[in-house]
Structure formats: C-alpha cells, structure tokens
Amino acid sequence: MPPDTRERLLHAAIGLFARKGYASTSVADILDAAGVNAGSLYHFFPGKQDVLLAVLETYRQGIDPMLLQPAWDGVADPIERVFALLGHYREYLRRTECTYGCPIGSIALELHEPDPPVRALLAANFDGWISAIEGCFIEAGDRLPASVDRRALAIFALTTMEGGVMLSRTDRTLDAFDAAVRMLRDYVDRLQASGSSRGTPVTLSPPGP
Amino acid sequence: MPPDTRERLLHAAIGLFARKGYASTSVADILDAAGVNAGSLYHFFPGKQDVLLAVLETYRQGIDPMLLQPAWDGVADPIERVFALLGHYREYLRRTECTYGCPIGSIALELHEPDPPVRALLAANFDGWISAIEGCFIEAGDRLPASVDRRALAIFALTTMEGGVMLSRTDRTLDAFDAAVRMLRDYVDRLQASGSSRGTPVTLSPPGP
DNA sequence: GTCTATAACCCGATAGAC
DNA sequence: GTCTATCGGGTTATAGAC
C-alpha cells in the first residue's frame, strides 16, 4: 500500500537536494522527509552519494517526459519551443520567489572533488538538455543561417538559462533572468532575419517540396 | 614581520573558498592554511560567516584593481575589453584544468538560506561586474544600435561567462565555455554590423567633432 | 593578541535484534 | 526489509591561562 520505500527516499532526496543542496542535506533530513529509518536507507543505497547518483539518474530519465513534454505542450514551432522551455524555468523561479532554479546547475557548482560518477551524470543531464535544444535549432532548418553551429547555439541557450537563474536567485528578482533571455531572443531574431533576407541563402538541405 | 594575522586569515579563506567552496571549508582548514590558532580567528571575526563577508567585500573592492585592470592592460577598444575579460576567465579555467571558475558564482549557488548580508554582498559583486561591462558597451556608442539595452547586454555577458564556467567545470573541457563565448561574439559582431550598415543610424550622441 | 583544551553538537555509517 | 542504538569522527565556537 505505501509506495515503494526506495521510491519515497528518492522523492524526498530530490526535494531536499533542490531546496538545500546536496552537502547541506543530511541523511537524517532524508529519513525524516521520507518517514523511513536509517536501516532502510542503507539497505537500498550503499551510502549518501549513491542516493545522489540515483537522483541524478532520475532527472536524466525525466528530461523528456517531465521537462520537455510539459513545456512543449501546444508549441509546435521549434524556435518557440526553445523559449517555451526557458519560460518554464522562469515560471519555476517565479513560483518559488526566486529561491531555486535548476537543481543540476546548483549541484554542478557545489561539486569540488573529482567524484567521477557524479560528474558523469551531471554532464549527461546537461548533454540531454543541450541535445534536445540542438534538435530544435536543427529542425528550424534554413530559418537560421547555415553557418551557425546549432549545437553551440544550444549551449548558449543553456548558459543563458543557468546564468540567469544564478543572478535572479541572488537578487531575488526576475530582472536578470528576463534581461538575459530577452537578449538571446534578440540574437535569434536577428539570425532569422539575416537567414531569410533574400530568398533561400546558402543551405545544406534540398529545396522544399 | 609576519603580515597582519587578519590578512593571513583572509587570504587563506579566499583560496579555500575558491577551491572547496564555503560549506566544505572548515574553520580548522582556514586555521591550518593561515598558520593561526582558533583563538586568533575568533578574536578578529565573530564567526565563520563573518569571514565569508570579509572575503566577499575583498572581492568587491578588488574588481577594478585585481580583475579589470590586469585584463584590460593594453586593450583600449571597449568591445574588445569585454572579450578580454571573458578571456581572462578562460585562462583561469585553463590553468586550473577546469576545476574552478568564478568563486562568486559558486558561492551564489551554494547559498540556500536567506542570509541577507551574504546575499547583498554577492549581488554587489555581480553589480560591479555588470556595471563595468555596461560601461564598455556605453563607451562603444553608436557602434551598437541605439535600441540595444547596454545593461541587459552586460548581464548577458555575465550569464554567458557564469554558465560557460559551470558547463566547462562539469565536463572538464573548455569546449562549452568557448562555444558560449563564440556565440556572444557573433551576436555582438552582428549588432555592430547592423549598427554601422549605412552611415550613422539612430543614435543619442551628438555628431563627433 | 595568542595559545590550548574542550564543550556541545551533528555527521555518515553500522551492528544486530526482529 | 525494518527498527533502535550507537560508534567514531568532524563541526563551530568558547573558556581561560598566558
């Protein structure tokens, strides 16, 4: 009847790591939030770091169903999808009064030792995000100049989001996030204007049907 | 003969906070690194958080003499100064094999409680950086379209740097940092191209002498 | 101002009964 | 699989001699 104990621990850890960070969350915090005893946690996980690994793996698997699909619901245009996703983070910031933004980014900067398995999963999360946005820019086809590196543009969108979250969390205002996204929007608009300035410019795709 | 004890504590804390973060640095770490006893630290500072406040104030006062002036030595062009500063962070990342980037950004995301005095000093540090870069873009005058918000563009440069550092630290490669800065450069180039496309476009400054 | 010793507490992890 | 009790060690901060 009560959901899987492991599941409850995972869910509690996800909330606490997002709210307080990894290092500041104690195992006792997780146990309290999950209503579970120490013995059970150490039955499912070798240690605290393995809880983090499971959390990061959960995030990674959730990128598509939990993040992209809700953000892209009803948004067909690939370039609008990029900004719809950024708008999703804005909503998250707004609802929490700018207290927390992207949990992956926070943990990434919290990490100071090599910790190869943790780092690999953080990188996999960033890569999943970047690849999805890269897909949008690729799908935009010749609306963007062929010379523009789609993946670099996707990385740029991620740095805009993460940097915007960092600044907005610091001064508890959406101003910086909005300013950064506004500039990214202006850049993409200018790329589109230049790409379609006269007929079909240099492009790698065959002429449309 | 030995430099001021308070100074040694401050210097030790700066290094440790940058290397290991604030929470993971213990008071004992600071004492060891400074070669100082606990009694002395608590003579100069009420507690650990006050050491952090002093560190952040030191950074704030050092923005001009320790960060901007070295980065801008021999660089007169205001727009090149922006990218010279970003290049300075790249050098820092490269020299440390992408293990640490901007200490202010790391501490900003490490902060999970309200901590108003700490937050205020972090914001002051970001503001000093942004205002300096905003000054560069203002100095660029009509090389940029008048419609472009100089301060928003400066914020955008900061999110590019902070986000780039985050990603590069995570996968221990300069690739993401370079990709983000390359896109920012392309954006600024396109703004300049559009601004000077035909004679002097709409501008607020009077015609030159 | 500097030093030592230690108080008071919290941490992750484990042992072992059930 | 779950529970309790606890170990060993690290934490910030303080007391009090010098």
At residue B29, the pLDDT reads 98
Is B25 (CB) below 7 Å from strand D?
Answer: yes
Range list of β-strands (E), A109-189: none
Q: Are residues A79 and A1 in the same domain?
A: no
Exposed / middle / buried, residue B24 (Cβ in 10 Å: 0-12, 13-18, 19+): middle
- Minimum CA–CA partner of B188 in chain A: A187
Q: How many CB atoms lie within 10 A of CB B191?
A: 23
Query: Is B152 part of a structural domain of the chain?
Result: yes
Mean pLDDT for B172-179 is 98
Q: What is the Cα–Cα distance from B150 to B59, expressed in whole angstroms?
A: 24
* Dihedral sign for Cα atoms in the order B29, B35, B39, B40: negative
Is B38 (CB) below 7 Å from strand C?
Answer: yes
Is B39 (CB) below 7 Å from strand C?
Answer: yes
Query: Is A96 part of a structural domain of the chain?
Result: yes
Q: Are residues B34 and B92 in the same domain?
A: no
Q: Are residues A64 and A139 in the same domain?
A: yes
Query: Is B209 part of a structural domain of the chain?
Result: no
Whether A10 and A51 have beta carbons less than 8 Å apart is answered as: yes
Q: Are residues A89 and A179 in the same domain?
A: yes
At residue A137, the pLDDT reads 98
Q: Which residue segment(s) compose the domain that B151 sits in? A: 57-193
At residue B120, the pLDDT reads 98
At residue A198, the pLDDT reads 44
At residue A201, the pLDDT reads 46
Q: How far is CA B57 from CA A194, B65, B193, in A?
A: 45, 14, 40
Q: How far is the CA of A48 from the C1' of C11 (A)?
A: 11
> What amino acid occupies position A41?
L
Tell me whether residues B183 and A156 touch, CB distance under 8 A: yes
Helix ranges restricted to H, chain A:
5-20, 27-34, 38-44, 48-62, 69-72, 78-95, 103-110, 116-139, 150-171, 175-195
Q: What is the Cα–Cα distance from B209 to B190, expressed in whole angstroms?
A: 27
Q: Locate B23 and state its tokens.
A: 């929470």
Mean pLDDT for B184-202 is 77
Nearest-CA distance B209 → chain A (Å): 32
Q: Are residues A36 and A67 in the same domain?
A: no
Query: Is A107 part of a structural domain of the chain?
Result: yes
Nucleotide nearest to B38 (CA to C1'): C3
Any idea what the CATH number is for the domain that residue A27 is in?
1.10.10.60
Q: Are residues B175 and B80 in the same domain?
A: yes
At residue B146, the pLDDT reads 96
- A94's enclosing H/E stretch is helix A78-95
At residue A196, the pLDDT reads 59
Mean pLDDT for B90-111 is 96
Tell me whether residues A155 and B176 touch, CB distance under 8 A: yes
Q: How many CB atoms lie within 10 A of CB B121?
A: 21
Q: Are residues A42 and A61 in the same domain?
A: no
Place of tokens 């952040």: B56
Say whether pTM exceeds 0.75.
Answer: yes
How many domains are there within chain A?
A: 2
Q: Are residues B112 and B14 in the same domain?
A: no
Any idea what the CATH number is for the domain that residue B110 is in?
1.10.357.10
- A150-170 burial, b if ≥16 CB within 10 A, otherwise e? bebbbbbbbbbbbbbbbbbbb
Q: Tell me if residue A85 falls in helix, strand or coil.
A: helix
Residue numbers in A 12-41, CB below 7 Å of strand D: 36-40
Q: Are residues B42 and B63 in the same domain?
A: no
Query: Is B189 part of a structural domain of the chain?
Result: yes
- A118's enclosing H/E stretch is helix A116-139
pLDDT tens across B123-148, in order?
A: 999 999 999 999 999 999 999 999 99
At residue B195, the pLDDT reads 61
At residue A3, the pLDDT reads 74
Q: What is the Cα–Cα distance from A93 to A101, expressed in whole angstroms?
A: 6
Q: How far is CA A107 from CA A4, A167, A182, B126, in A?
A: 26, 16, 26, 21
Whether A105 and B101 have beta carbons less than 8 Å apart is answered as: no
Q: What is the Cα–Cα distance from B182 to B3, expressed in whole angstroms?
A: 43
Tell me whether residues B156 and A184 touch, CB distance under 8 A: yes
Backbone angles phi, psi at B90, to 5 degrees: -60, -45
Q: What are the DSSP calls for B77-119, one per residue?
A: -HHHHHHHHHHHHHHHHHHTTTS---HHHHHHHH--S--HHHH
> What amino acid occupies position B25?
T
Report chain A (209 residues): mean pLDDT per 10 consecutive residues.
86 97 97 97 98 98 98 98 98 96 97 95 98 98 97 99 98 98 98 68 49
Query: Is B136 part of a structural domain of the chain?
Result: yes
Q: Are residues A93 and A157 in the same domain?
A: yes
Q: How far is the CA of B40 from the C1' of D14 (A)?
A: 12
Q: Are residues A124 and A36 in the same domain?
A: no
Q: What percent of chain B has pLDDT over 90?
A: 90
Q: What's chain B's average pLDDT? A: 93
Query: Is A31 part of a structural domain of the chain?
Result: yes
At residue A7, the pLDDT reads 97
Contacts of A164 (CB under 8 A, 6+ apart): A89, A176, A177, A178, A179, A180, A181, B159
Nucleotide nearest to A38 (CA to C1'): D3
Backbone angles phi, psi at A21, to 5 degrees: 85, 170
Q: Tell me if residue B120 falls in helix, strand or coil.
A: helix
Tell me whether residues B156 and A170 touch, CB distance under 8 A: no
Q: What percent of chain B has pLDDT over 70?
A: 92
Whether B10 and B44 have beta carbons less than 8 Å apart is answered as: no
pLDDT tens across B56-74, in order?
A: 999 999 999 999 999 999 9
Q: Are residues A26 and A105 in the same domain?
A: no
Q: Locate B147 and state its tokens.
A: 């419609």
Q: Locate B14 and state its tokens.
A: 């700066």
Q: Locate A124 and state its tokens.
A: 């996999």
At residue B206, the pLDDT reads 52
Query: Is B204 part of a structural domain of the chain?
Result: no
At residue B200, the pLDDT reads 46
